Amino acid sequence: MTGRTNFERLDTARLPSPCHVLDLARLEDNLKLLKRVSGESGVEILLALKAFSCFAVADLVSKYLSGTAASGLYEARLGKTRFGGQMHAYAPGLKEADIDEMLIYADHLILNSLGQWRRFREKLVGAPGVHFGLRVNPGHNEVENPLYDPCAPWSRLGVPANELTAADLDGLSGIHIHALCDHPYEAFDRMLAAVEENCGHLFGAIEWINLGGGLLITEEGFPVDTFISRLKEFRERTGLTVYLEPGTAVGLHAGALVSEVLDRTGNVGELAIMDTSATCHMPDVIEAPFTPDVLGAQTLPRDMEAAPGESNIVRLGGPTCLAGDIIGTYRFETPPRVGDRVVFLDLGYYTMVKATTFNGTPLPALALWDSRSDALEVVREFSYADFEGRLS
């Protein structure tokens, strides 16, 4: 069952606007599939909080996954205190002042460089029960957009594998690899082959390897059985404990963003001003860029020119003063009017975690909805106090 089909049954009149909506049914389907991958392959799967950190569903997530992965102190604290389970923490820039607190939450702490490890080693090694690792750049590129490519030239993320020897890992028990971004299985297969070729000389010095995330495991058509076999074979042959830390795959097709039309206007083409913003509430729309699908509408190219006289083609934009606050251009069967609700699909990941209040734009509320029973709960609404609290 696709996320699109699920959200066709959502009564948006029951919600405040704007509002993030998580479908608990689809979320649980994703988690069940990840649990199956873990059980049949023998790997441990963690939720990458950088993509999806909605602790309102922490109990559901912890039922199926081994723990969480963090990219800094605050995420580490959130993962340990809200989600429980294992906590694997990594930060490109680790502050010495944060180390003591980080060690309270982290079961695995991954350093970004040998310089970090050597500088902080004496402080770290006395922490009971904490395993230390090093982020390694495998020298393999799969990501086309430089903004998201951790293996691009001049990357600050990790130590190039060809600059490391096994002796460099003295005192460390594992390595962390991350080289994908919303990729299919074939990219993972190529990456893992490159990891074996370029990092294999380190395997004898380590006990575990974290292969990162960025893989669309829960997308329809993903070859799950092939993936399980590949992971199991790699794990058994190398003798390493293997971790994965998906983020997008956890929330894939489980989230939507409901918005209301504030105004209809025109400038050569038809325009609608929404109460949600690309730059504030879905910044990857601008950064990637990409155009989110809209329920009941055809998504048109972002670079298409205005279509004068075509009333069914409407460009949707946010309420901020940023000229480029454009969500996308769509062909509607019935163009939305002022007061109508619009449902933007598949916006459960890299949205809530990146949202801002630029221009004083309110943050979207959060609702949990179960498409199996139609049960709906608005679990969080934001107010002026949340905006003011971030300022001084």
- Tokens standing for residue 326: 């454009």
Q: CA nearest 19: which of 264, 252, 276?
A: 276
Average pLDDT over residues 315-333: 97
Average pLDDT over residues 357-385: 97
pLDDT of residue 1: 40
Which pLDDT band, with edges at 50, 70 and 90, does 304 fall under?
confident
Specify whether 92 is located in the same domain as 149.
yes
pLDDT of residue 101: 97
Whether 29 is covered by a domain: the verdict is no
- Tokens standing for residue 302: 């972002």
277: number of Cβ within 10 Å: 29
* Domains contained in the chain, number: 2
Is the pLDDT at 3 greater than 60? The verdict is no
Handedness of CA 175, 214, 379, 382 (dihedral sign): positive
Whether 172 is covered by a domain: the verdict is yes
8 Å CB contact between 258 and 21: yes
Which pLDDT band, with edges at 50, 70 and 90, does 311 fall under?
confident
Burial class of residue 289, CB neighbours in 10 A (0-12, 13-18, 19+): middle
Of 251, 273, 288, which residue constitutes the final position of a domain?
251
Mean pLDDT of the chain, nearest integer: 96
Average pLDDT over residues 170-191: 98
Give the pTM: 0.96
Rounded Cα distance between 283 and 347, Å, is: 11
Is the pLDDT at 159 greater than 70? The verdict is yes
Q: Could you tell me the residue range of the domain that residue 211 belongs to?
A: 42-251
Rounded Cα distance between 377 and 56, Å, is: 11
CATH number for the domain harbouring residue 289: 2.40.37.10
Of 190, 219, 251, which residue constitutes the final position of a domain?
251
pLDDT tens per residue across span 102-148: 999 999 999 999 999 999 999 999 899 999 999 999 999 999 999 99
CATH number for the domain harbouring residue 132: 3.20.20.10
Rounded Cα distance between 283 and 350, Å, is: 8
pLDDT tens per residue across span 50-81: 999 999 999 999 999 999 999 999 999 999 99
Specify whether 179 is located in the same domain as 60.
yes
pLDDT tens per residue across span 209-229: 999 999 999 999 999 999 999
Specify whether 180 is located in the same domain as 89.
yes
pLDDT of residue 113: 98
Q: Whose structure tokens read 């404990």?
A: 241
Is the pLDDT at 4 greater than 90? The verdict is no
